[in-house]
Copies of this chain bind each other. A is one copy, B any other.
Amino acid sequence: MERGCPPEAERLGALLRRSREAKAAAYCPYSRFAVGAALLTAGGHIFSGCNVENACYSLGVCAERTAIQKAVSEGHTSFKAMAIASDLEDDFIVPCGACRQVMREFGKDWDVYLTKPDGTYVVKRLEELLPLSFGPEDLRKL
Contacts and interface: CB of A to CB of B under 8 A. Distances in A.
Interface residues of A, number: 64
A78 to B, nearest CB: 12
Contacts of A50: 72-73
Given A49-B73, A66-B73, A142 B98 contact: no
Given A98-B98, A128-B131, A141-B91, A69 B61 contact: yes
Interface string A15-58: 00000001001010111110000000000000011101111111
Given A72-B50, A96-B134, A97-B99, A30 B57 contact: yes
> What is the total number of copies of this protein in its complex?
4
A44 to B, nearest CB: 19
Contact of A88 (B94, B97, B142): B142
